[in-house]
């Protein structure tokens, strides 16, 4: 090319959650069945929408209105319905105009960071959900700015670390909260959320709160939404149906804007995001129209309750399997679909491996190591070995913008026999790798 095509921020775009799929697909071509633990897709893990939900959705297909464009901000009736649900909680009050729909939250996240000036930084948690951290770093042409989640304290945020980083970096204009958290499964207690809001207020920040898992909470955990604690601080909540219904293929998420009238710059950001959606005409209409009918159905609360009960039972079984493992730091998960386990300081050493009997698989594994740019993180080495030796596809925590070494797995498998086999293989893999 006659000149460079890409800015520096392009180097920050990475997504190991799907990147490792390419490795797993190579094993599938060799005839191996892969146990997928890399992504929070309930449908892939044998979850099914109940028939009553499918009947509501199929009924919408017979209504001609379903097939036209929606309003650029989303279906008005649905936005009114969601605003009313938010307002009944108390706290920040919104109208339909404070809600904008997107083609999934990935679309929303991209637009939030895209239009910020490069020097304006949004600090987020570490370990970090890659879609947020990559998008923020890309816009800034720099590495992500993060505050620590502490595995020695139930994965709660290190508030001193957050406070000091905000205090001494005037480029930080926003704070990201993911509640319940991905990848750790930690649920933010209300006092911690209140303290984070106080930090945002003190330093005149806006808050982005990813609440896609807000209704997926178990083990008697308790939390609250951002709207309930935000006071007069500008902020936005990101929500969707991909995990809750579950309907990830719908690509249907939305942002709720709080306190736009309290800050002119934040109001301009929200308007710019809306303008970006207007250029695209509209988001998907069928799932938008389904939301009020499904969420207002008398069967919906029991459906959510049953869902959480099942995930909580898997969480308890996971705890029973791994809590006393000598090689990892284990925290019981209380929300979302995941558990993140961290290897203890001396558990990972150079040269560790697992037995691999198939010469073709060993050759393939060696090629993965050889193609890596520079030295490979030790948790990534473990994950690659586990994939090759046990055919379980995990994601290394070093790929979640963290200097910790570990892995993320899901709590999604509906088939108990398959679930038990997954847990068994991971446990065996840890013992073989770290005990070698």
Note the pLDDT tens digit of each residue in 19-43: 788 999 999 999 999 999 988 999 9
174: buried, middle or exposed (CB in 10 Å: 19+, 13-18, 0-12)? buried
Q: Cβ of 270: how many Cβ atoms within 10 Å?
A: 20
Mean pLDDT of 272-284: 90
| Domain formed by 8-47+301-434, architecture | Alpha-Beta Complex (3.90)
Who wins on pLDDT, 283 or 341? 341
Nearest to 96 by CA among 68, 66, 70, 73: 73
Token output for 81:
């319905």
Intra-chain end-to-end CA distance of the chain, in Å: 50
Tokens of 161: 């670390």
In this structure, what are the phi and psi dihedrals at residue 52, rounded to the nearest 5 degrees?
A: -65, -35
Q: 124-137: per-residue pLDDT in tens?
A: 999 999 899 999 99
Distance from the Cα of residue 124 to its chain's centroid? 12
Among the residue ranges 38-42, 298-302, 361-365, the one predicted with the least confidence is: 38-42
Per-residue pLDDT of 241-260, as tens digits, reads: 999 999 999 999 999 999 99
Per-residue three-class SS string for the chain: CCCCCCCHHHHHCCCHHHHHHHHHHHHHHCCCCCEECCCCCCHHHCCCCCHHHHHHHHHHCCCHHHHCCCCCCCCHHHHHHHHHHHHCCCCCCCCHHHEEEECCHHHHHHHHHHCCCCCCEEEEEECCCHHHHHHHHHHHCCCCCEEEEEHHHCCEECHHHHHHHHHCCCCEEEEEEECCCCCCCCCCCHHHHHHHHHHHHHCCCEEEEECCCCCCECCCCCCCCHHHHCCCCCEEEEEECCCCCCCHHHCCEEEEEECHHHCHHHHHHHHHHHHHHHHCCCCCCHHHHHHHHHHCCCCHHHHHHHHHHHHHHHHHHHHHHHCCCCCEECCCCCECCEEEEEECCCCCCCCCCCCCCCHHHHHHHHHHHHHCCCCCCHHHHHHHHHHHHHCEECEEHHHCCCCCCEEEEECCCCCHHHHHHHHHHHHHHHHHHHCC
Residue 421 pLDDT > 80, yes or no?
Answer: yes
Query: What is the pLDDT at residue 4?
Result: 77
Contact, 396 vs 386, CB < 8 A? no
Look at residues 155, 152, 153 and name the one whose alpha carbon lies nearest to residue 187: 155
Say what the pLDDT of residue 19 is: 77
Q: How far apart are CA 381 and CA 389, in angstroms?
A: 12
Rounded Cα–Cα distance for residues 342 and 430 (Å): 11
pLDDT of 283 over the 90 cut: no
Handedness of CA 303, 305, 307, 313 (dihedral sign): negative
Report the distance separating Cα 347 and Cα 341, nearest Å: 12
pLDDT over 70 (residue 14): no
Highest mean pLDDT among 5-14, 168-177, 271-280: 168-177
Asked whether 125 and 147 are in contact (CB, 8 A), the reply is yes
Quick one: pLDDT at residue 11? 67
**pLDDT tens for each residue of 379-392:** 999 999 999 999 99
pLDDT band at 373 (very low <50, low <70, confident <90, very high): confident
Yes or no: say if 342 and 403 are a contact pair by the CB < 8 Å rule.
no
- Residue pLDDT, tens place only, 140-185: 999 999 999 999 999 999 999 999 999 999 999 999 999 999 999 9
Q: What is the pLDDT of residues 89-125, one digit of tens each?
A: 999 999 999 999 999 999 999 999 999 999 999 999 9
What are the extents of the domains in the chain? 8-47+301-434, 51-295
Which pLDDT does position 26 carry in this prediction? 95
Count Cβ atoms within 10 A of the Cβ of residue 165 and give its class: 0-12 exposed, 13-18 middle, 19 or more buried: middle
pLDDT, position 12: 62
From 138, 103, 124, select the one nearest 15 (Cα to Cα). 138
Tokens of 20: 């490792």
Q: Global pTM?
A: 0.94
Q: What is the mean pLDDT of the chain?
A: 95
Instruction: Kindly indicate the confidence band of residue 400, based on its pLDDT and cuts at 50, 70 and 90.
Output: very high
At residue 7, does pLDDT exceed 80? no
Architecture of domain 51-295: 3-Layer(aba) Sandwich (3.40)
- Predicted local confidence at residue 8, as pLDDT: 72
Residue 85 pLDDT exceeds 70? yes
**Which of 402-417 are b and which e, b meaning 16 or more Cβ less than 10 Å from the residue's Cβ?**
bebbbbbbbbbbeeee
Give residue-wise pLDDT tens across range 312-322. Answer: 999 999 999 99
Query: Which pLDDT does position 39 carry in this prediction?
Result: 87
């Amino acid at each position: 090319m006659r000149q460079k095509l890409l800015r520096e921020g392009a180097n920050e775009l990475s997504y190991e959650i799907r990147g490792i799929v390419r490795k797993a697909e190579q094993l599938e071509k060799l005839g191996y069945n892969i146990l997928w633990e890399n992504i929070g897709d309930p449908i892939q893990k044998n979850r099914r929408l109940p028939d009553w939900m499918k009947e509501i959705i199929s009924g919408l297909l017979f209504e001609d209105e379903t097939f036209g464009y929606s309003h650029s901000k989303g279906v008005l009736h649905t936005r009114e319905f969601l605003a009313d649900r938010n307002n009944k909680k108390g706290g920040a009050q919104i109208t339909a105009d404070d809600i904008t729909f997107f083609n999934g939250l990935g679309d929303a996240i991209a637009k939030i960071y895209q239009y910020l000036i490069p020097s304006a930084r949004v600090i987020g948690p570490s370990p970090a959900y890659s879609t947020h951290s990559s998008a923020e770093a890309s816009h800034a042409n720099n590495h992500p700015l993060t505050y620590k989640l502490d595995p020695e304290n139930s994965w709660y945020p290190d508030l001193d670390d957050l406070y000091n980083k905000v205090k001494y970096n005037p480029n930080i204009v926003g704070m990201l909260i993911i509640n319940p958290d991905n990848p750790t499964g930690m649920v933010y207690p209300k006092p911690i959320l209140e303290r984070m809001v106080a930090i945002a207020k003190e330093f005149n920040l806006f808050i982005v709160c990813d609440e896609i898992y807000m209704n997926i909470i178990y083990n008697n955990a308790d939390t609250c939404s951002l709207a309930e604690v935000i006071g007069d601080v500008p902020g936005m909540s990101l929500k969707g149906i991909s995990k809750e219904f579950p309907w990830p293929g719908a690509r249907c998420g939305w942002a709720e804007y709080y306190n736009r009238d309290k800050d002119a710059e934040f109001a301009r950001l929200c308007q710019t995001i809306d303008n970006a959606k207007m250029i695209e005409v509209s988001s998907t209409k069928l799932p938008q129209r389904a939301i009020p009918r499904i969420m207002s159905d008398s069967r919906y609360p029991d459906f959510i309750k049953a869902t959480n009960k099942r995930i909580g039972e898997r969480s308890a079984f996971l705890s029973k399997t791994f809590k006393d493992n000598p090689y990892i730091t284990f925290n019981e998960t209380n929300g979302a679909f995941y558990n993140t386990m961290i290897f203890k300081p001396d558990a990972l050493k150079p040269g560790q491996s697992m037995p691999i009997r198939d010469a073709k698989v060993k050759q393939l594994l060696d090629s993965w190591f050889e193609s890596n740019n520079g030295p490979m993180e030790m948790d990534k080495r473990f994950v690659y070995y586990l994939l090759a030796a046990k055919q379980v596809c995990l994601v290394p925590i070093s790929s979640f913008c963290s200097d910790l070494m570990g892995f993320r797995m899901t709590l999604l498998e509906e088939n108990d026999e398959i679930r038990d086999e997954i847990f068994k293989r991971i446990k065996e893999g840890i013992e073989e790798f770290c005990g070698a």
